[in-house]
Chains A and B, each alone.
Chain A
């Protein structure tokens, strides 16, 4: 022990690190901030450090070359000792980082920590949030599989909608005319050099600001933030009822960071690494690309926006949302801090969380996508073919053969793009069915050119049988009996 102490003293005499760090570690913070609610920021930082460590390890093996990246990922998964584990930790760590950072953002907002004098801390935090999402997207590209390839196609298509400079933006993004080798090296440089460098610098600035301005005190209803008095009152509170950051507040941070790391390791061990998915060969088009979870909500928005609003909303929506996020402390920079007296703030958070999770949920189910295999792989329910005439059975065949079920389900199986066909006869008369099939309408293509009259007859004959036994078939509007009868 005495050897360690003397080595420590020798180092301290020369480097003086302890003297430099101790005041930072032991600076006084409000007692109320030593709370479990205040652990998300340090947990995010811990995850970031873990991402750096595992990322560097992966870079020892990974080849950012379009012809070999996929093989090097398989090598990491199956050959390199513990490569699978590091890939898994990096993947689950990235998910956790986005999730915990989002919790940090929400907590900070609900506790009014963005208000005077911490506006700049918030602004830097928003930059950190954007950089982290940038890491998430570029990381998904480095997992050079079909999802990465077509995800880039989506990114390029969005960029291509920008007016005038669209084509240039696409080519700068892709590093060339198509998604290929020069695209991957670009995203590699962004993912391992540019954005991490920015993140490290911004984390430093973020922490410097936290130290300089002090950790936000627990918000008390009725204690308003006033630019003239706030800092003096904060100093008084810290002076009267402060505790040293280390260890009083830091121990909860340490526990939370440890728990987060353990959860990530557990997920990594149980679920293993994610992907790579299909081989990134653009001529393999039997694929249904999907982004990682943090972009599922956005992916859903792309399907649900009315087409005429899409270009405008795709180009203006995200910048506007980001702008609003930046402006939060300048819109509401003083006044009430407690969530108990900020109903608009609380409702906004609830609304945004509900919208994003609902959209992400839809992004998992993708009800708007045709089921490409339904027509050949999904059987017709037996109850819909039993006791039918040959003409009606022929119609059931037409439904399968013409891919109707890619968009319309029968017995719960098939696409959800169009309405389910069970019970269609209670909604549409045979004339209406013929019209809908031949001319299309709503979201349905017109089949007039692709069906022979005999096929239409059979199809409609079959669909007329699709109704529950106790429900009457649809009747032409003109013949509906008066209500009084």
Chain B
């Protein structure tokens, strides 16, 4: 630095000081303009866009009264490259002619897939030993509640359920 030029301590009142501050301000502005969209982009899936939709499971007649049957559907919020992972499984119990219970396949403990055993009328989970009765209520093991249950409707002989997201204790089907 030439000795006869302004010293750095005089930045505040000088042209250089202005440039320095301008540089800071422009970079801060840039950080905000890019940073906020980046954070928003990463957190976007948390927006409470409605991940619920009515889904047709099949004709009512394909579920015999008194039985619990396996059913599956395609997640309505799928993207093209989801492949098999867009498929969702559930258990449909037909209580009588008009009443159904549709359970998510995911154990209420930690989400593993429960299996139905018609002989003992129990759902059993392979992960940590959760067991549920045929009406979905907790029978034993670590689950804090019964199986997650879908809302359903019967429209023109078809069974419809409302679903679209992975059921957890925070957000049910």
Chain A residues proximal to chain B, CB less than 8 Å: 65-68, 149-150, 153-154, 156-162, 166-172, 174-184, 279-283, 285-289, 299, 302-303, 305, 307, 310-311, 368-370, 372, 375, 401-404, 406-407, 417, 440, 442-447, 449-450
Contacts and interface: CB of A to CB of B under 8 A. Distances in A.
Interface in B52-90: 70, 72, 75, 77-89
B126 A160 contact: no
A181 B83 contact: yes
B77 A177 contact: yes
Contacts of B86: 178, 180-181
B102 interface: no
B171 interface: yes
A66 B139 CA distance: 35
Contact of B133 (A65, A407, A445): A445
B142 interface: yes
Contact of B79 (A166, A179, A181, A443): A181
A378 to B, nearest CB: 15
5 contacts: A153-B112, A157-B168, A370-B124, A403-B120, A445-B140
B42 A177 contact: no
Interface of B: 42-43, 45-46, 51, 70, 72, 75, 77-89, 105-106, 109-115, 117, 119-122, 124-129, 131, 133, 139-144, 164-166, 168-171
Contact of A67 (B83, B111, B114): B83
Contacts of B83: 65-68, 181
A445 B135 CA distance: 13
Contacts of B133: 445, 449
Contact of B140 (A177, A375, A406, A444): A444
Given A170-B166, A170-B170, A174-B45, 11 more contacts: A66-B81, A171-B45, A176-B77, A281-B84, A282-B85, A282-B105, A286-B115, A289-B112, A307-B143, A307-B144, A375-B117
Contacts of A403: 117, 119-120, 122, 124
Given A150-B112, A157-B111, A440 B171 contact: no
Contacts of A183: 85
Of residues B105, B113, B164, B165, which shows the largest number of chain A Cβ atoms within 10 Å of its Cβ?
B113
A299 B165 CA distance: 24
A450 B131 CA distance: 14
B111 to A, nearest CB: 3
Complex A-B, nearest 4 residue pairs according to Cβ-Cβ distance, in ascending order: A67-B83, A160-B168, A166-B170, A153-B111
Contact of A161 (B124, B125, B169): B169
Contacts of B121: 449-450
A279 B84 contact: yes
Contact of B126 (A177, A283, A372, A450): A372
Given A157-B109, A302-B142, A181 B166 contact: no
A462 B120 CA distance: 18
A222 to B, nearest CB: 49
A166 B169 contact: yes
A172 B142 contact: no
Contacts of B142: 302-303, 305, 307, 310
A179 B86 CA distance: 8
Contacts of A287: 113, 126
A446 B134 CA distance: 12
B50 to A, nearest CB: 10
A168 B133 CA distance: 31
Interface of A is mostly: loop
Given A67-B81, A68-B83, A369-B128, A172 B46 contact: yes
A68 B60 CA distance: 35
A150 B85 CA distance: 11
Contacts of B117: 375, 403, 406
A288 to B, nearest CB: 4
Contact of B110 (A158, A167, A182, A443): A158
Nearest to B171: A167
B107 to A, nearest CB: 8
Contacts of B70: 285
B113 A282 contact: yes
Given A153-B106, A369-B129, A445-B133, A178 B112 contact: no
A366 B72 CA distance: 29
Given A68-B83, A157-B109, A440 B169 contact: no
A443 B140 CA distance: 5
Given A154-B112, A370-B131, A181 B81 contact: yes
B166 A178 contact: yes
Given A285-B89, A445-B122, A180 B82 contact: yes
A171 B46 contact: yes
Contacts of B171: 160, 166-167, 170-171
Given A179-B85, A369-B129, A168 B113 contact: no
A160 B129 CA distance: 20
A145 B168 CA distance: 21
A355 to B, nearest CB: 18
Given A180-B86, A181-B85, A282-B85, A445 B166 contact: no
Contacts of A161: 168-170
Contact of B128 (A66, A68, A160, A303): A303
A150 B144 contact: no
Given A166-B169, A279-B84, A369-B128, A178 B111 contact: no
Of residues A68, A176, A307, which shows the largest number of chain B Cβ atoms within 10 Å of its Cβ?
A176
